[in-house]
Chains A and B, each alone.
Chain A
Amino acid sequence: MKSLKLNKTTRRNYLTYLLVILAYVILQILGSTGSISSSLKGMLVPICAYIVMAISLNLTVGVLGELSLGHAGFMSMGAFTGVTAAIALQDAIPAAPLRMAIALAVGAAFAALTGFLIGIPVLRLNGDYLAIVTLAFGEIIKSIFNNLYVGVDKKGLHMSLLSDKTSLSEGGKLIIAGPMGIGGIQKISTFTAGFILVMITLIVVFHLVNSRAGRAIMAIRDNRIAAESVGVNITKYKMMAFVTSAALAGAAGALFAMNYSTIVANKFDFNTSILVLVFVVLGGLGNMLGSIVAAAALTILPEALRQFSDYRMLVYAIVLILVMLATNNPTLKSFFSRFKPGKSHGKEAA
């Protein structure tokens, strides 16, 4: 009977997989019978992208324990490089799903590289200083993509900064047009692709968290000095979590971008980073299922509040504040903890 006695974390992870698959199947069935509204249908891919964003940020904030305010920067990096790859390969690879997969991989690879380069300086800092530097990098990435011109012709890719100096030969095409972003994207993102990406993300994150490396990462979060003193290589494990998080965000960005016909750098600004952070905190730090639910619910919420028309963002803000106040209210907390046997109060007091 040993195989049936899974430990708590494993049970929880399988439950997460199961729920995601279930949600996908239900939505597919509902979609094929035509009983979901077209507005919800249009939101399925962005929801998947935001779920991946939330899970990947949760890896940085919840598991590694460092606040990142520039997560949208990686999304931007993934979106622009991924879409550029997709457009450049449009003739070479006619099959959309394959091109899509390559675009996601390219986006993830470039975001990972950016994450690595940013990680070298960022991970030397701690706490709020680390947060502000990630914010700064997010803004820098946004600024650069706002002024980047990339074109493709027979000779390959051409790039220039600030103004269009790509001087493409005959038959060439400008892909990224500075502040105008990328236009004329083929919308090859599908809900199925999004679902697969969410599953891959979950598998990657769960395997990382439950590995030796994951335990090292959490040890760093809980007590950096203690972890260091027992021989955990702080920089290596921090970097591992940070780069994984960046790569997943890059893939999410590519998925997100290919759901729209145009994409501009200003879409991935500080507010997007904050939006994803809100998903993570509301879902619970380190709780991947929570991130998924929060990302899906909060992406739908502004749509669901459409009946309040002008007041919807106001209602959203009020809901956000009230939820934070309620979940941190000591009276409510002790009330709920009564229903959770085995959880002592000592933990919260610490």
Chain B
Amino acid sequence: MTFLNFLISGISLGSIYAIIALGYTMVYGIAKMLNFAHGDVIMVGAYICFYAVSRFNLPPLVGVILAMIVCTVLGMVVERLAYKPLRQAPSLAVLITAIGVSYFLQNTALLLWSSNPKVFPSFFVSGSGGTGVELFGGQLKISYVTLFTIIICVIIMLALTWFTGKTKMGKAMRACSEDKGAAQLMGINVDATISMTFAIGSGLAAIAGVLLCSAYPTLVPTTGSMPGIKAFTAAVFGGIGSIPGAFLGGLLLGIIEIFAKAYISTQLSDAVVFAVLIIVLLVKPAGLLGKQIREKV
């Protein structure tokens, strides 16, 4: 039963990583850049939701939607101001700019909201005040946060699959990630598509931020960086650029992390996670679901 408990909390943590990793992987797929500022967008989303709910007493759902709107706009503005002028620049220059944006967001948050940790309110409480469901006579406890996280992640996954597969914008996104030049020749507005990708990724980051802080309720300006790095790892794990890959990578990473914490050592769990990543990349150098591109001579 404890095994099942760990598995469920692993899936829940993994779902959060998966949502963040989706943002990384979509941006990487289309703009071929590692957006290191993504983790900090999560933090901004969590802060917006925190202030909306606990200071302005808005209902949680409104807080989440507000956070999504702010993050979406933030993502598009950052893309327009910092990344778009560098579209032709070497990838390292873009990487450093992304790091600059990450510092910028963290320090702005530090100035606006101070470094004092905020305790994130728990939204997921039933009418009678319970925080979870109990199964098998109380042996298996699943909190509502866990349940919601998993459900939301599945919904996002299905919605994104539908979006990229069926809609015009989604098809445009896939076309741009295959070949920008050819996409432009077919009349696709590449700039708008990239902007849209950033918008979706950042909106998802806001949701991830709220879920992350509901599960681990301390909120500081550096909250987003470690989950950001882990989610980035998850995206690579699953094969960067691939949406199902990010989903799978995130889930596996979360499960491995929780199991490493439970069965190996709490302090060394990060080391175990990264060691597994290295082993996977050695066996499958393009990640679990990544496409192995043959080199042309």
Contact = CB atoms under 8 A, between A and B. Distances in A.
Interface of A: 61, 67, 121, 124-126, 128-129, 131-133, 135-137, 139-140, 143-144, 146-147, 161-162, 225, 270, 274, 277-278, 281-282, 285, 310-311, 313-314, 316-318, 320-321, 324-325, 327-330
A162 B267 contact: yes
9 contacts: A133-B281, A143-B268, A143-B270, A225-B295, A274-B99, A310-B111, A313-B103, A321-B104, A325-B82
A311 B271 CA distance: 35
A135 B88 contact: no
A328 B89 contact: yes
A321 B104 CA distance: 9
A324 B93 contact: yes
A278 B88 CA distance: 19
A330 to B, nearest CB: 7
Nearest to A274: B99
B103 A316 contact: yes
Contacts of B229: 135, 139, 270
B125 interface: no
Contacts of A225: 295, 297
Interface of B: 28, 34, 36, 82, 85-86, 88-90, 92-93, 95-97, 99-101, 103-104, 106-108, 110-111, 225, 229, 232-233, 236, 240, 265, 267-268, 270-271, 274-275, 277-278, 281-282, 285-287, 295, 297
Contacts of B92: 61, 67, 281, 285
Contacts of A162: 265, 267-268
Contacts of A144: 268, 271
A147 B269 CA distance: 11
Given A121-B278, A328-B86, A328-B89, A129 B236 contact: yes
In the A-B complex, the 5 residue pairs with the closest CB atoms: A317-B103, A136-B274, A143-B271, A320-B100, A317-B104
B138 to A, nearest CB: 33
Contacts of B277: 132-133, 136
Nearest to A313: B107
B96 A278 contact: yes
Contacts of B88: 328, 330
A136 B96 CA distance: 19
Given A132-B277, A324-B86, A314 B104 contact: yes
Nearest to A126: B285
